[in-house]
Amino acid sequence: MYKKSRLAFNNAKEKIPGGVNSPVRAFKSVNSSPIFFKKGIGSKMIDIDDNEYIDCISSWGPLIFGHCNNEIIKSVNEAVINGATFGACTPIETEMADKIIEYVPSIEKVRMVNSGTEATMSAIRLARGFSKKELIIKFSGNYHGHGDSFLIKAGSGAFTLGLPDSPGVTKNTAKDTLTAEFNNLDSVEKLFIENSKNIAAVIVEPIAGNMGLVIPEKGFLEGLRNLCDTYNSVLIFDEVMTGFRVSKGGAQELYGVNPDITTLGKIIGGGLPVGAYGGKKDIMDMLAPEGPVYQAGTLSGNPLAMSAGLTTLKMLDKNIYLKLEEISNKIQAGWEKNIKETNTNACVSRVGSMMTLFFTNKKSIRNYNDALECNTTMYAKYFKLMLDMGIYLPPSQYESLFLSSVMTENDIEKLISSNKKALEILKNE
């Protein structure tokens, strides 16, 4: 069933570290071998063995309109005819900026970059330059890309100075990052009290998507806003995943909390590599050439990514989000019914078209420690069962599904029936 994929993986391992260009693709978390794909159309992906799958990842978020949307393809084709990149200014960059500012409540100016990681790295440098402070607070279980400042673990507790979480990250870099607990304002306040004059920024996924989907509890985001205001620190929302995904204005529109800086990615590239960060005018004007904080990029704002992203943003309207909610709600309701009927220790967490099924005896997951207690062995078995039934899920318990607006009623029914069959098999093992 996966013969060609296995051969392709063996070949890739000879030339590419681990055989992959991003670690989660190696399928190690699900004790399996990765699938290699050749085509995507609508809600489906086809692998090199000609197996077809319902895609529940949407390239980790960007493909809100599914694979090979005609309008997006048309815009990219028209752009590439005139030049893929100039390393110079083009009007479409300003058009993209206009659209982002129109949609996102807190953004007055925006700078385009080439990835979510580049956006978050640049955002914390800007926050430090603006505040003239050095320390950053992040949260256990939040992921902000592979920048050195973010690959930090919590040390001996949530209130301690960070330690490097990867070889190659220096202790001097790690000491400038403090780690708090998601959905725990007390842990954040304690760090502020202990370092009251030197915290430049708090960076948070307003809806966590990298320990599985974890929803912010009532008052958590508002509390972060208040603490940053009290201590004159910058609040950064990492909306690389949630921006334009959970609503047109992202999580900040959904929860009514405005950050000082927002990082974006995924959907604003329409499937092409992209990132952005934006915020209040007085903060953004600290960037070179206007101000002293340096950041640059040869391919930033390139016409292909801007064309695909702008076309995507223009297609977003109220009906798209209503459709996504209808699709996602049906799948969640079906899966929760299956969980109850099969008496499985599991729960489903969802905001809009982002969703995670956790194998746990808890009613909900509220932080990283809760997530770590999930049954990853069970998830690995579940993943493989669903894969064999033509459902492509995240190859890790700690990732979110990203559902697309092109999923059909047949897709929904298959997702629900396959889920029930998989849970029944697991129960009878």
Name the active-site residue from 47, 148, 176, 238.
238
Query: Which residues in the chain show pLDDT less than 70?
Result: 153-164
CB 261 within 8 A of CB 234: yes
CA distance 277 to 97: 10
CATH tag for 3-64+317-428 (out of 3.90.1150.10, 3.30.1330.200, 3.40.50.720, 3.40.50.10890): 3.90.1150.10
- Determine which one of 53, 143, 231, 321 is catalytic: 143
What's the CA gap between 196 and 193, in Å, rounded?
5
Q: What is the pLDDT of residues 105-137, one digit of tens each?
A: 999 999 999 999 999 999 999 999 999 999 999
Examine domains 3-64+317-428 and 70-315 and report if their fold is the same. Answer: no
Per-residue pLDDT tens for 127-170? 999 999 999 999 999 999 988 888 876 433 333 345 567 788 88
Q: What are the boundaries of each domain within the chain?
A: 3-64+317-428, 70-315
Q: Give the amino acid at 271.
A: G
H-helix or E-strand containing 262? strand 261-265
Reply yes or no on whether 238 is catalytic: yes
Q: Name the CATH architecture for the domain at 70-315.
A: 3-Layer(aba) Sandwich (3.40)
Active site residue 197: no
**Residue written as token pair 């405005």:** 258
Residues 51-100 pLDDT 10s: 999 999 999 999 999 999 999 999 999 999 999 999 999 999 999 999 99
Quote the percentage of the chain above a pLDDT of 90. Answer: 91
pLDDT at 156: 35
Look at residue 153 in the predicted model and tell me its pLDDT: 64
Active site residue 388: no
| Pairwise CA distance, residues 167 & 161, whole Å | 17
Measuring CA to CA, how many Å separate 291 from each of 116, 129, 370?
A: 23, 10, 43
